[in-house]
Amino acid sequence: MKKYRFEEGADVTADIREKYAYDGDLLAIYSGNEGPEVHKWHHYIPLYERYFAPFRGTGVRFLEIGVAKGGSLQMWRRWLGGEAVIFGIDVNPDCARFDGQAGQVRIGSQTDTAFLDFVVDEMGGLDLVLDDGSHRMGHVRKSFEHLFPKLAPGGVYMIEDLHTAYWPKFGGGYGARANFFRYMAKVADDMHHWYHDRGERREGLGAQVSGMHIHDSIAVFEKGPVHWPVHSRVGA
C-alpha cells in the first residue's frame, strides 16, 4: 500500500496554498498552531472553509466526534469564534482533561444513542457535525443515522478520513457491502425516490438530505427543505 506523508520540516502553509489555492484564516490558524497537536490532511483545510465558513461568528452549535489530543477543538474555537457552542466527544477518558479549554468535552461512544441524545440536549441542538471518530464503518453509519435527523435546517454533517471505507480492519473494503460510499449510493436513491417505485429505504433521510458531496476521504451531507421537483418551459 502506498504511504502518503508530508515531509518533516516542510512548509505546511506553502503546500496548502500552492496545491489548493487556499490562503484563508483557517490556514494561518492551522499551520501556525503552537498548542496541542492538530493532525489533518492538507486538502481538508479548504474544504472546512467551503462548508463551515457561513457559520463563523455565529452561535453555531458544533459537535466534533473524536477529541484525540485536543488541538482541533482549539482550532475550531479560534476560527468559529467566541459565540460558538463547541462540544467534543471521545471514548478515551483521558480526553476529559480538555473539557472547558476551548469547548466542552464529554466521554462516551459515538454509537451510544442515549449518550448522543444527552450531549445534543446539553448543546441545545445541532448545526454542524464533524465525524473524526473511530472511522469504523458501522460506527460512522450509526452516528450519521442518529444525528443527521437532529441537525437544524441548513445544517451540515461532515465525515472525514473515509479512506478507511476501503480497509477491511475498519469494516470496509473495495466493493464491500459496508463501504460507506456504497451506503451513500443508497441515500442517493432515497433522495430520488420521486423517480422510482422502491420508496425510501432509510425513512426520513430522503426528505431531509438536500445535497451530498464526496471529496477525497470526505463525505458531506447538507440538510434543508426538500420539495417535490417541478419543471417549467419558459420562453418562445
Q: Is 233 domain-assigned?
A: no
Q: Is 6 domain-assigned?
A: no
Q: In which element (H, E) is residue 17 found?
A: helix 12-20
Distance CA 125, CA 119 (A): 9
Amino acid 134: pLDDT: 97
Amino acid 56: pLDDT: 97
Lowest mean pLDDT among 64-68, 106-110, 226-230: 226-230
Residue 135 is among the residues annotated as catalytic for this protein? yes
Of these ranges, 67-71, 159-163, 198-202, 224-228, the one predicted with the greatest mean pLDDT is 159-163
Contacts of 41 (CB under 8 A, 6+ apart): 160, 161, 216, 217
Distance CA 80, CA 87 (A): 13
Q: pLDDT tens digits for 2-51?
A: 556 665 557 999 999 999 999 999 999 999 998 889 999 999 999 999 99
Q: Is 88 domain-assigned?
A: yes
Confidence of residue 234 (pLDDT cuts 50, 70, 90): very high
Segment 131-146 shows an average pLDDT of 97
Amino acid 183: pLDDT: 95
Amino acid 9: pLDDT: 56
Amino acid 117: pLDDT: 98
Cα atoms found within 13 Å of the Cα of residue 73, Cβ hemisphere only: 28
Single out the catalytic residue among 135, 192, 196, 213.
Answer: 135
Q: Is 49 domain-assigned?
A: yes
| Domain containing residue 25 | 12-223
Question: What CATH number is associated with residue 216?
Answer: 3.40.50.150
Q: How many structural domains does the chain have?
A: 1
Q: Is 229 domain-assigned?
A: no
Q: Is 132 domain-assigned?
A: yes
Grid coordinates representing 4 are 502518503
Q: pLDDT tens digits for 168-217?
A: 999 999 999 999 999 999 999 999 988 998 878 876 677 799 999 999 99
Q: Is 234 domain-assigned?
A: no
Q: Is 68 domain-assigned?
A: yes
Distance CA 69, CA 80 (A): 19
Q: What is the pTM of this model?
A: 0.94
Residue 176: is it exposed, middle or buried by C-beta count within 10 angstroms (0-12/13-18/19+)?
middle
Grid coordinates representing 82 are 467566541
pLDDT for residue 96 is more than 80? yes
Edge-to-edge order in the sheet of strand 85-90: 104-107, 85-90, 61-65, 126-131, 151-159, 218-223, 209-215
Amino acid 202: pLDDT: 74
